[in-house]
Chains A and B, each alone.
Chain A
Amino acid sequence: MKTAITHHREAAFSMTKLRLKFPGEETLLFKDLSFSVRKGEKVLLLGPSGCGKSTLLQVASGIVPNSFELPMKAEALELPDSWGFVFQDPDTQFCMPYVDEELAFVLENLNVPREEMQVLIVASLERVGLHLTDLHTPILELSQGMKQRLALASVLLMEPEVLFLDEPSALLDPEGTKQIWTSIQAATAEQTVVIVEHKIEQIAEWIDRVVLFTDDGKIAADGPPDSIFKDYKEELIRYGIWYPGVWDDYLNSKVFKTLSENRSSTSTVEVLHAEEFNGYRGKKSVIHVPSASIRQGSWVTILGENGSGKSSLLLSLMQLLKTSGALQVNGEPIVQKKRRKTLPAGLSLVFQNPELQFVTNSITDELTISLMSVSSTEANHHAEEMIELFNLPVSGNRHPYQLSVGQKRRLSVATALTSSTDILLLDEPTFGQDARNTFGMLEKLESLRRNGMTIVMVTHDLEIASHFATDIWTVSDGELVSCTRKGGVADARLVYA
């Protein structure tokens, strides 16, 4: 018993007076940071984006500087003997095409004999609750949540003492988020776990300790979750953390109250109408709309499971897929063409990945390129307006790629707003964003809507659907199954189920 306690008191890893900087940056990311974690502890690191939390995980695991070199020094650095790392992006963690091959890759690295592999592979999948009928399943066919559980299974094969989790649920939908945290909690009771994550609702009860960082890489607070969540709420809001109850606080905030006050009811003018409308990939119909219409100034959220056809619906409306059936935009019927050079006027679409939508080398150029017909002073004026409206860096000369994640998203929405845009289609514009950027985006969209814009948005977030939407559409299995007007919370749950 006694040994067990002392064992527990030992540090899993520790660092004393760590100094580190990114090449080309003037200031140090960490200046004399000391930090340690006890064995078996479950620690959550919180802080604004760019404060160095992820880098700290990489230093603690030795990825920095072993795999990725950064100028750093420390008075003392005690790293764990064995560790596992689960990264944020489910699509860049695997090097093999199949589930069993990926798990075997780890075992090969550990020099495990071939005869023992099968049993270990089965056991590791069992441990994370990933039940597959065939182990030889292409990783491509797994949902994002399943991929993250596979990533967890593969690192558990190394029997790590310490598990580092760098925003493992940031890019997952609510279902996937629940799955990965359930798996982590069930599988890592014994291990030391260090987590960086903004979405913390699922784990707030489970963790032992929260460390709160400031913008300049210092530790602002370090203690049990309850007291941190209570005493540092202002920082949590400022840093955009999805802490438990963040939506309740937002709904009670002044900003939201002003937004929801006399929310103008939408007009009765139909801006879009579809009847027996189909979108095709190849010869296969991927989305069928029996009948639907959108009134001007409404905010339609499209809900549905992954792969149900939500994105295809947007692409079809935009005429980027082959379509059939009747579609009217602003009263004008859209003629389906086989190869079209120009897209229907009045519609604009914002894709998920902002970088794939940028076409120029500066923010200002991005905002003015579609305004060929107006004078350059007018175009620049439009750009300045957009920069202000979307909180973009005032110097419009910055390259779009140099912006922060949230800024890139906002710029991609701003670029879609030309003078001719009446209906704005958005594919999960708040996906993977922190709370502050999410609310910021929603407020921007709401102000556009008040000025007469019609918003059509795919999302997984039921809170958004219930508090911002005027209409909720549900897509299931390639079919638009319901269009509900004015959704409250109950409505949203109902149509999503």
Chain B
Amino acid sequence: MPAWFTPNRETWLFRVNPALKFMIFVLLLLFTLFTRNLAFVSWLAVLFGILLYGFSGYPIRKLALLSIPLIISFASSAFTMMLFGKGDTVIWQWGLFKISEESIQHGLLLGTKSLTFGFVGFTFLLTVQPVLFFYAMMQQFRLPSKYAYSFIASIRLLPVVVEEIQVRSNALKVRGITFSRGMKGWGERIQAYAVPLFAQSIRRAQRIAIAMEAKQYQMGAARTYFYPTSYSRMDVVFIGVISVSIASVSMVAFVMN
């Protein structure tokens, strides 16, 4: 799986300080969340679409595949809002469904926002190396090292957990365990998987914690860094690109209106 997440080429986005990139993307998400201007959010979606498709360094085929859930979430949130949203200028009504001008507006806004979130999220996740991100968070944003290393350790354990889920699923088949249909079956499934997997994970987490302390890791102690991270010219470029795009998008959206 990690091989799948290797880009074709490392674009300039990779050279931006990962912690700074994270902070700016979080700001952008908040910004998107609180905007109510459809034109503005739509332009933002286009902007981040360009950023993701043009500058993440991944082939279009993979990006298109990743975009499927985004399109689905766009469609589902937009249509739900359109069909059930409140509004006075009714265009079409049938039973519970009521489409109004306002609900179309809200639906599109909601859908576009979720699309923007998706684009921003993927642009970040695809262009960052987790280990470097946490090193930068420790060095540039003073994230306590205990959080950084626990996150790194848990990423390392993900493949192990995936493998255990496979073994559990095979073992349940061998034991002849079958599940009921429908919701009840899902409840049974969760129970059958959760207990043994949690038991394994808790034990593993405790062992790793003790091993880390045995390697003289101390919370809050002064430490050096194997990957020194700092700000570079690329960060200036990044902030510049983002500010200019946001400014021009605002111009188009607000002033032209």
Which A residues contact B (CB, under 8 angstroms)? 61, 63, 66-68, 84-85, 87, 89, 91-98, 100-101, 104-114, 117, 139-140, 154-155, 158, 315, 318, 320, 341-343, 348-349, 351, 353, 355-359, 369-370, 401, 415-416
Our pick among B155, B208, B216 for the contact of A92 (Cβ within 8 Å) is B208
Contact flag A93-B174 (CB < 8 Å), given A111-B224, A356-B168, A356-B196: no
Q: Which of A91, A101, A106, A351 is within 8 Å of B215, CB to CB? A: A106
Asked whether any CB of chain A lies closer than 8 Å to the CB of B149, the reply is yes
Number of B interface residues at 8 Å Cβ cutoff, please give it: 44
- In the complex, which residues of chain B have a beta carbon less than 8 angstroms from the beta carbon of A108? 223-226
Find B177's partner among A96, A348, A359 (CB 8 Å cutoff).
A359
Inside 8 A of A357's CB, which chain B residues have their CB? 171, 174-175
Whether, in the assembled complex, B180 has its beta carbon less than 8 Å from a beta carbon of chain A, the answer is no
A95: contacting residue among B149, B171, B192, B216, CB under 8 A: B149
Q: Is B183 an interface residue (CB 8 A)?
A: no
Instruction: Establish whether residues B170 and A351, one from each chain, have CB atoms under 8 Å apart when the complex forms.
Output: yes
A-facing residues in B158-175 (Cβ within 8 Å): 159-160, 164, 167-168, 170-175
B68 interface contact, C-beta 8 A = no
Selected contact of A355 from candidates B172, B178, B199, B213, CB within 8 Å: B199
Instruction: Note all chain A residues with C-beta closer than 8 A to B152.
Output: 95-97
Please give the distance in Å from B202's CB to the nearest CB on chain A. 12
A386 to chain B minimum Cβ distance, whole angstroms, is: 15
Contact check, A355 vs B156: say whether CB atoms are below 8 A apart. Answer: no
Q: From A103, which residue of chain B is reached at the shortest CB distance?
A: B226
Which of B210, B215, B223 is A158 in contact with, Cβ under 8 Å?
B215
Render B200-215 as a binary contact track against A, CB cut-off 8 A, 1 for contact.
1000100111111111
B222:A67 contact, CB within 8 angstroms: no
B156 touches A96 (CB 8 A): yes
How distant is A281 from chain B, measured CB to nearest CB, in Å?
10
Partner of B226, one of A61, A95, A101: A101
Q: Nearest Cβ distance between residue B40 and chain A, in whole angstroms?
A: 40
A87: which of B170, B176, B200, B211 is its contact (CB, 8 Å)?
B211
- Chain B residues numbered 95-114 whose CB sits less than 8 Å from any CB in chain A: none
A63 with B214: CB separation less than 8 A: yes
Question: 7 more A-B contacts (CB under 8 A) besides A96-B156, A359-B175, A401-B199?
Answer: A95-B153, A96-B152, A96-B153, A97-B152, A104-B226, A117-B226, A357-B175
Q: A93-B208, A357-B171, A369-B175 are in contact. Are A140 and B224 (CB under 8 A)?
A: no
Q: Which of B172, B221, B223 has the most CB of A within 10 A?
A: B223
Q: Is the CB of A101 within 8 A of B131?
A: yes
Q: Please tell me if the beta carbons of A110 and B216 are within 8 angstroms of each other in the complex.
A: yes
Shortest Cβ-Cβ A-B pairs, 8 listed = A104-B226, A92-B207, A95-B153, A85-B214, A357-B171, A67-B213, A93-B211, A109-B216
Q: Which of B131, B176, B204 has the most CB of A within 10 A?
A: B176
* A213, B76: Cα distance in complex, Å: 67
- Taken together as a complex, chains A and B put the C-alpha atoms of A109 and B223 apart, in Å, by 6
Q: What are 14 A-B contacts with C-beta separation under 8 Å?
A: A67-B213, A84-B214, A85-B211, A87-B210, A87-B214, A91-B204, A94-B211, A96-B131, A97-B155, A155-B214, A351-B171, A356-B171, A401-B199, A415-B175
Whether a CB of chain A sits under 8 angstroms from the CB of B248 is no
A356 near B213 with CB under 8 A, answer: no
Which of B149, B192, B228 is within 8 Å of A114, CB to CB? B228
A105 touches B167 (CB 8 A): no
> Is B141 positioned at the interface, with any CB of A under 8 Å from its CB?
no
Cα separation A343 to B169 with both chains bound (whole Å) = 13
* Chain A residues within 8 Å of B155, by CB: 97
| B-side interface mostly | helix
* A91 pairs with B160, CB closer than 8 A: yes
Tell yes or no: B230 within 8 A of A by CB. Answer: no
A420 to chain B, nearest CB (A): 10
Q: Which of chain B's residues have a CB closer than 8 A to the CB of A140?
A: 156, 159
Q: Which residue from B175, B200, B221 sits with its C-beta under 8 Å from A370? A: B175
- Are A356 and B217 also in contact (CB < 8 A) when A89-B207, A107-B224 are? no
> Which residue of the partner chain, among B212, B214, B217, contacts A61 with CB atoms under 8 Å?
B214
Whole-angstrom distance between the Cβ of A112 and the nearest chain B Cβ: 6
Question: How many angstroms from the CA of A415 to the CA of B176 in the assembled complex?
Answer: 11
In the complex, A359→B189 CA distance in Å? 11
In the complex, what's the smallest C-beta–C-beta distance from A345 to chain B, in angstroms? Answer: 11
Q: How far is the CA of A61 from the CA of B213 in the complex (A)?
A: 11
B6 at the A interface (CB under 8 A)? no
Q: How far is the CA of A105 from the CA of B170 in the complex (A)?
A: 36
Which residues of the partner chain B approach A139 to less than 8 Å between Cβ atoms? 156
The residue among B160, B175, B223 with the most chain A CB atoms within 10 A of its own CB is B175
- CB distance B156 to A94 under 8 Å? yes
Within 8 A of A (CB), among B24-79: none
Kindly state whether residue B218 has any CB partner on chain A within 8 Å.
yes
- Give the chain A neighbours of B167 by CB distance below 8 A: 351, 353, 356
Are the C-beta atoms of B178 and A341 separated by less than 8 Å?
yes
Instruction: Report Cα–Cα, A85/B210, bound state, in Å.
Output: 10
CA distance A409 to B196 in the complex (A): 15
Knowing A94-B156, A114-B224, A114-B225 touch, does A109 contact B217 (C-beta < 8 A)? yes
B207 partner residues in chain A, CB cutoff 8 A: 87, 89, 92-93
Q: A355-B199, A356-B167 are in contact. Are A92 and B204 (CB under 8 A)?
A: yes
Nearest residue, chain B, Cβ from A88:
B207
- CB A382 to nearest CB in B, in angstroms, measures 15
Q: How far is A94 from B170 in the complex, measured between Cα atoms in Å? A: 28
Bound CA span A14–B177, Å: 53
What residue in chain B is nearest A97 (Cβ atoms)? B156
